[in-house]
Structure 1
Amino acid sequence: MAPSRAAPVTGGHVRAGRRGSGFAWPVPWVSSTLYVSVLAGGVYYDVAGAGQGEPARTAVFAGGLVALLVLDVTGRHRLDARQPARSALALLAVRLGLFALVTLFDGSGLSRALFLLVPFTAYFAFGRRAGVTLGVACLGVLVTAFTLTAPGWYTRAEYISDLLMFALGLVLVVSTAEVAVGERAGRARLELTLRELEESHRLLTAYAGQVAELSTAMERTRLARDIHDSLGHHLTVISIQLEKASAFRDLDGAAADRALADARRAARRALEEVRGAVRAARAQTRHFSLSEALAELAGYDDGGRPVVTLELTGQEDGYGAAELAALYRAAQECLTNARRHGDADRVSISVTFGESSARLVVTDDGEGFSPSAGRDGFGLLGMRERARLLGGAFDVRSGQGTGTVVTVTIPRRVETVG
C-alpha cells in the first residue's frame, strides 16, 4: 500500500479520510467466490430438476449474479480510488437491489447468503458499528420474511437451521472483517512508523552534516589561532630584528649582526614549532613543559627591551597539554603585543598552579590601549577563545599610558576512573 494511500487509524479500525468513506478491499476474493458459488448452486438446482425449470427465471437469476460480479470488479477499483461516502452508499444500495432480485428468482434458497456481504461491505466502508448494525438488520429481515411467507416457521427444523446458519455466517463475516481491518490498521501504523523513521534519518543526516561543518569550522579556527600565536609571534620577532639590522647597518655593525643572529634564531624556533605541531597532529600526544617554555620565552634577549621577569608558583603536574599550551600562547601573545605595540620597558609574567585552576598574569608598563573600544585584535580574540573552550576566563585591563594587565584562568581537568 502506498504511503499516500494509507488511511488514518481510529479506534482500531481503518476508515477513509474526512473527504470520503471509500475503502480498499483487503479480502477481494470473498464476494466474488460467494457470487460464483451461489450461481453454480442455483443453476445446478434448476438443471437437476429440483427447481421450477423456467429458463427465463434462471436467466434473470444468472444475469443478476453476473451483474454483481461485474459491479464487484469495477466497483472495487473505484473503492480503491477513495470515492466519496455518497458513492459508497449508492454502490451498497445497488448491491442490495441485485441481492433482492437474485433471491427472488432463486429457487434453491442459496442466494440468502449474499446478504452476508451487506455487513461485510459496510464494515470496511463505514466501520464496525455500521457493519454490526446492518448484520442485525439482515437477520431481522430474514426473520420477517420467514414470518410473512411461512407461518409457524419457528416450529420447522429447516427454517430454524437456515436461521442459525445465517446467524453463524454473520458472526464469521464480521469476525473476518474485524481481522482484515485490524491487519490493515497494523500495516498503516507500520507505514507511518517507517515514514517517521525515514524523516528521523533524514534529520539525523542533516544534523550530522551540520556537526561536520561546525567541526571543520572549529578546526580552522584552532589552526588560525595556532598560526597567529606561534608563527605570528616568531615572524614579528624576525621582522623587528631585520628592521633593527637595517637601521644599524651603517651606524653599529655589531648591533646589526646581533639583530640578524636574533632573526635567524627566531626563524629556527618557528621551524621547530611547525615541526612539533605536525608531530603532535600525527601522534596526538606531545610532551610540553610550560615552565621550560616560559623560561625560554622570558630569557630571549631583544637588545635589552623589554626586560622580562618570570615567577612560577606551584607544580604544573596534573595539568593537560591543552591547558598548558593555552597559558603559553597567552603569555607569548602578551609579550609580542608589549614588544611590538606597547613599546614596554618591563614585562612581568606570573603563573600560579593551584589545586583546581592555573592562573596567568602578564603585566607590562607600555603605552596601553582602551579595551572598552571593542576593537580586540586577533591575538586578544584568540586568547579569549582558548580560555572559553577550556572552561576558563580571560580578562584584560588597560588604558592609554597606563600599561596592560592580562589575566587568564584555566581550570584543571579532573580525570575520572571507571
Structure 2
Amino acid sequence: MTAPPTPSGGPPRPLPWLPPLVYGVVLAGGLYAGAVAPGPAELPVLGGFTACLALLAALDGGERRRYPRRTPVRPALVLLLARLALFAAAAGLDPSGVSRALFVLVPLTAYFAFGRRAAVALGVACVAVILAGNTLWVPEWYFRPGTVTDLLMSGLGLVLAVSTAAVAMGEQEARLRLEHTLEELRDSHTQLTEYAARVAQLSTARERNRLAREFHDGLGHHLTAIAIQLEKASAFQTTDTDVARQAVADARRSANRALDEVRQSVRAMRDEDEPFSLSTALADLVHHVDGGPPSVTLSLAGDEHGYRAEALTALYRAAQEGITNARRHADATRVELSAVYGDHEARLVVADDGRGFPADSSTRRSGFGLRAMRERLALLGGRVQVEAAAGRGTVLTVTVPRTAEPAAAPGQEAVR
C-alpha cells in the first residue's frame, strides 16, 4: 500500500522536545560534577563543556527555523556529522561522564532523517565506538563492573532510542493517513452533495416529463374528441338537431372522462390509486370513443396478471395515442385495437385504414405523442414500431416485457 501524500515540506518533526531535554540533563550533571570537584582548573573545562551544549542547542534551533518540517538528506548528513563532533567534544570535557547520553540522540535523529536502517546502523556504530574507546583507554575494562554497566546502559539507551523513534514515526504516519482519509471523506461528502443535487434535478425533470406525457396522452385524447364532437354539433345544429344534441352530449362525456383522469393522476401522485386493469381500460376506451368515425373494435387474448402497472399504463397510453392519431390525422373509418398478453411480453396493436404516409417522411412527421411514447417504453424495456404507407393505413405495434429489461436504444422504429 502506498503512503498517503504528506503536506508540503514533509511531516512535522517528531519529538521536538527530546533533544533540549537531554541537553539540559547533561548540562546539569556536568555542572554539578564541576561544582563539587576541587580546584579552579575545572572552570575552563566546564566552560568548553557548556559551550558545546550551547552550540548543540543553537544548531537544533537553526535547523528547525530553516527546515520547519523535514531536513533534506544532504543538510541532514552535514548536521549529523557536526552533532557527532560536538557530542564527542562534550563527552571529553564532561567531568561527570553523563554526556555519553548524548549519543542516544544519534540513532534518534538519524531515524527521522534517513530511516530505520540508517538509525540501526548508527546505533551499532555508537556501541562499537564506546567499546573501542574502552578498549583503548580503559585497561581491562571488562573487569570493571562500572564500565561494563555503562556500556550495557548505553546499548540499552540506543535500543530504546530507535524504538521510540519508530513509535513516533508510526504515530505520525498514522496521523497523516487519518488526515488524508478525513480529507478524502470531506471531498466525498462534497461530491455526494453535488450528486444528490443532480439526482434531485433529474428526478424533478423526469417527473415533469412524466406529467407532460400524462397530460398529452390523457387530456390530449379527450380534448381531441371534444373538439371533433363540437365541430360535429356545429355542423348539424341546423340540419339535424338530434345528431347535434348527441354530439354535445358526447363532448360533455369526454370532458367528464378527462376530469376523471386528472383526478386519477392526482390520486396516483398521493399513492391512493387502485390497481390498474388494462383490459377494462381498453374496453372503456372503445366504448366511449364518442361515436362517429372511425369505428373501433377491440380484441383481447391472454391474462394481464403479473404485468407491472407501469407497463400496462404505457400500453393504454399507446392505444389512446393511436386512436387519437387515426381520428385527427389519418381520416380513418375503421380502427382495429388488439392486446395480447404473452408469457414473456405483452403486445398492443392499433391498425387503421387511413391515408397513412410515405415511409421516408416518418422522421419529419414525428410528433410529441409518439416521441413521449418511445421514451416511456424505452424506460420499461419496451419497443415501438410504426408501419405505414401512403394510402394504405398505419399499424402501430407496442410491446413491453413482463419483467424489466435493459432499455434498447431508440431510433430504428418509424414514428409519425
Shorter-chain TM-score range: 0.7 to 0.9
Deviation per CA, 1:242-281, whole angstroms, max 9, x where unpaired? Answer: 3333344444444333333222221111111111211121
Pair 1:267 & 2:278 matched: no
How far apart are the structure 2 equivalents of 1:83 and 1:175? 21
Pair 1:101 & 2:94 matched: no
Determine if contact 1:24/1:76 at 8 Å carries over to the other structure. Answer: no
How far apart are the structure 2 equivalents of 1:193 and 1:407? 55
Q: Amino acid of the residue matched to residue 378 of structure 1?
A: F
How far apart are the structure 2 equivalents of 1:23 and 1:231? 69
How far apart are the structure 2 equivalents of 1:395 and 1:84? 72
How far apart are the structure 1 equivalents of 2:197 and 2:374? 28
How far apart are the structure 2 equivalents of 1:225 and 1:340? 18
CA-based RMSD = 2.6
How far apart are the structure 2 equivalents of 1:88 and 1:23? 15
The aligned residue for residue 412 of structure 1 is 402
Determine if contact 1:23/1:124 at 8 Å carries over to the other structure. Answer: no
Pair 1:63 & 2:51 matched: yes
For residues 13-412 of structure 1, what are the structure 2 equivalents within 5 Å?
24-49=12-37, 53-300=41-288, 302-372=290-360, 373-375=362-364, 376-412=366-402
Determine if contact 2:219/2:258 at 8 Å carries over to the other structure. Answer: yes
In the TM superposition, residue 23 of structure 1 has moved relative to its aligned partner by 5.7
Q: Amino acid of the residue matched to residue 406 of structure 1?
A: L
How far apart are the structure 1 equivalents of 2:388 and 2:293? 20
Determine if contact 1:368/1:402 at 8 Å carries over to the other structure. Answer: yes
How far apart are the structure 2 equivalents of 1:301 and 1:106? 114
In the TM superposition, residue 70 of structure 1 has moved relative to its aligned partner by 3.6
How far apart are the structure 2 equivalents of 1:26 and 1:336? 80
Q: Amino acid of the residue matched to residue 137 of structure 1?
A: A
How far apart are the structure 1 equivalents of 2:266 and 2:125? 87
The aligned residue for residue 5 of structure 1 is none
Percent same amino acid among aligned pairs? 55
In the TM superposition, residue 364 of structure 1 has moved relative to its aligned partner by 0.3
In the TM superposition, residue 412 of structure 1 has moved relative to its aligned partner by 2.5
Determine if contact 2:331/2:355 at 8 Å carries over to the other structure. Answer: yes
How far apart are the structure 2 equivalents of 1:356 and 1:365? 30
Change (3 A) 1:78 1:23: farther
Change (3 A) 1:158 1:382: same
Deviation per CA, 1:6-44, whole angstroms, max 9, x where unpaired? Answer: xx849xxx9x89x97x76332223212211111111111
How far apart are the structure 1 equivalents of 2:176 and 2:358? 67
Q: Amino acid of the residue matched to residue 256 of structure 1?
A: A
Which ranges of structure 2 fall in alignment gaps of 5 or more residues? Answer: 405-416
How far apart are the structure 2 equivalents of 1:285 and 1:257? 34
Deviation per CA, 1:139-166, whole angstroms, max 9, x where unpaired? Answer: 2222333333334434433332222221
Q: Amino acid of the residue matched to residue 374 of structure 1?
A: T
Deviation per CA, 1:197-254, whole angstroms, max 9, x where unpaired? Answer: 3333333333333332222222122111101100111111122223333344444444
Between 1:140-149 and 1:215-224, the stretch displaced more is 140-149
SS in 2 for 1:283: coil
SS in 2 for 1:80: coil
Determine if contact 2:264/2:273 at 8 Å carries over to the other structure. Answer: no
SS in 2 for 1:342: coil
SS in 1 for 2:396: strand
Q: Amino acid of the residue matched to residue 381 of structure 1?
A: R
SS in 2 for 1:317: coil
In the TM superposition, residue 404 of structure 1 has moved relative to its aligned partner by 0.7
Between 1:199-208 and 1:392-401, the stretch displaced more is 199-208
Between 1:350-359 and 1:330-339, the stretch displaced more is 350-359
How far apart are the structure 2 equivalents of 1:305 and 1:299? 13
In the TM superposition, residue 179 of structure 1 has moved relative to its aligned partner by 1.5
Change (3 A) 1:198 1:301: closer
SS in 1 for 2:270: helix
The TM-score with structure 2 as length reference comes to 0.87
In the TM superposition, residue 397 of structure 1 has moved relative to its aligned partner by 0.7
How far apart are the structure 2 equivalents of 1:344 and 1:221? 30
Between 1:61-70 and 1:339-348, the stretch displaced more is 61-70
Determine if contact 1:124/1:177 at 8 Å carries over to the other structure. Answer: yes
In the TM superposition, residue 284 of structure 1 has moved relative to its aligned partner by 4.3
How far apart are the structure 1 equivalents of 2:242 and 2:82? 117
How far apart are the structure 1 equivalents of 2:244 and 2:313? 33
SS in 1 for 2:374: helix
Q: Amino acid of the residue matched to residue 382 of structure 2?
A: G
Between 1:185-194 and 1:120-129, the stretch displaced more is 185-194
The TM-score with structure 1 as length reference comes to 0.87
Aligned residue pair count:
401
How far apart are the structure 1 equivalents of 2:180 and 2:62? 29
